[in-house]
């Protein structure tokens, strides 16, 4: 049974908290704006699709990056480089995750059955981005940010400006916090020819860029609220997100990166939960 624990840590299952709340928010917003039915059954299938997709994405990342992780002291202890999980075991988990994702996809709006290869292709492409371009953080943002519009489409079968703006807002948020996280590996990335914005332009420039991206996140969520005709609870959630992101940027500076983990894990864990709480209150509670 120890292998189950190792596989759970391999895919960092607790990090699902970053994307899943935005998927639920996308579902609720689709119901509120388009009138599409939002049911517990729908939420269940979206949850399964998200869990399967995210696990598949993490398996792809860990398998493709195993050699890079082994060369980095910060990541050498991860499950594949340390040998507690084999590539075969990881790939088997990826195959099961893909099957569960497809099972869920076939229970959602029929249009999703044609679109699922797009995120899967992005999952596989992302680990190679750091080998190609310092803009890899933006690609990660667009990949994770698909949670909101994907759930919208799965609910309503349509697209529109609300899900597109939600996608861009979440993408900016993810790219911003990934920039903060990447400041830990600047010297390693430079030595091994890997690309990141901190390695290319320096830590200070990366942190400034992260701040700009997080301002864009708040503006994007505000635009979603305007177009969705949001009420006070939704707007309060946007304000909370702005406050949390402001706090996040007080935790790190170019001269002090000792609290990167707190900025990455703790602060960002609050963002999705706070936003979902506001959207849920606004769309589900009477009044």
pLDDT digit string (tens) for 229-277? 999 999 999 999 999 999 999 888 888 888 887 667 777 888 999 999 9
Q: What is the mean pLDDT of residues 154-181?
A: 95
Question: Of the ranges 8-17, 158-167, 264-273, which is most confident?
Answer: 158-167
Residue for token digits 């860990």?
Answer: 62
pLDDT of residue 1: 62
pTM equals: 0.93
Q: Which tokens sit at 124?
A: 């596989």
Residue for token digits 């996040």?
Answer: 248
Q: What is the chain's alpha carbon radius of gyration, rounded to the nearest angstrom? A: 19
Distances 91 to 97, 103, 130, 283 between C-alpha atoms, Å: 10, 18, 22, 40
pLDDT of residue 3: 77
User: Percent of the chain having pLDDT more than 90?
Assistant: 77
Q: What is the mean pLDDT of residues 108-114?
A: 93
pLDDT of residue 41: 97
Residue-averaged pLDDT of the chain: 92
pLDDT band at 14 (very low <50, low <70, confident <90, very high): low
Domains of the chain: 2-284 (1.10.357.140)
Q: What is the mean pLDDT of residues 69-96?
A: 90
Q: Give the DSSP H or E segment for 174.
A: helix 161-182
User: How far is 20 from 147, CA to CA, in rounded Å?
Assistant: 7
Contact assessment for residue 55 and residue 4, using Cβ atoms and an 8 Å cutoff: no
């Amino acid at each position: 049974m120890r292998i189950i624990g190792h596989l759970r840590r391999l895919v960092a299952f607790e990090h699902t908290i970053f994307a899943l709340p935005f998927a639920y928010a996308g579902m609720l917003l689709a119901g509120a704006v388009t009138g599409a039915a939002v049911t517990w059954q729908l939420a269940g299938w979206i949850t399964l699709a998200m869990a399967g997709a995210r696990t598949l994405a993490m398996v792809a990342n860990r398998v493709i990056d195993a050699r890079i992780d082994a060369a980095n002291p910060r990541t050498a202890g991860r499950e594949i480089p340390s040998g507690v999980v084999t590539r075969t075991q990881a790939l088997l988990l990826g195959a099961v995750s893909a099957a569960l994702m497809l099972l869920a996809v076939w229970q959602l709006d029929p249009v999703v059955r044609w679109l699922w290869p797009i995120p899967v292709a992005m999952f596989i492409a992302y680990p190679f981005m750091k080998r190609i371009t310092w803009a890899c953080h933006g690609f990660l943002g667009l990949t994770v940010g698909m949670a909101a519009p994907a759930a919208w489409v799965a609910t309503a079968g349509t697209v529109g400006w609300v899900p597109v703006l939600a996608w861009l807002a979440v993408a900016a948020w993810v790219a911003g916090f990934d920039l903060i996280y990447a400041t830990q590996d600047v010297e390693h990335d430079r030595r091994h020819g890997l690309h990141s914005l901190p390695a290319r332009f320096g830590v200070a420039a990366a942190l400034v860029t992260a701040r700009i991206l997080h301002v864009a996140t708040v503006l994007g969520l505000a635009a979603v609220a305007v177009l969705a005709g949001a009420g006070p609870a939704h707007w309060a959630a946007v304000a909370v997100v702005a406050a949390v992101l402001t706090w996040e940027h007080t935790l790190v500076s170019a001269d002090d990166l000792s609290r990167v983990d707190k900025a990455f894990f703790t602060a960002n864990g609050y963002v999705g939960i706070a936003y979902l709480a506001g959207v849920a209150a606004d769309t589900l509670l009477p009044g």
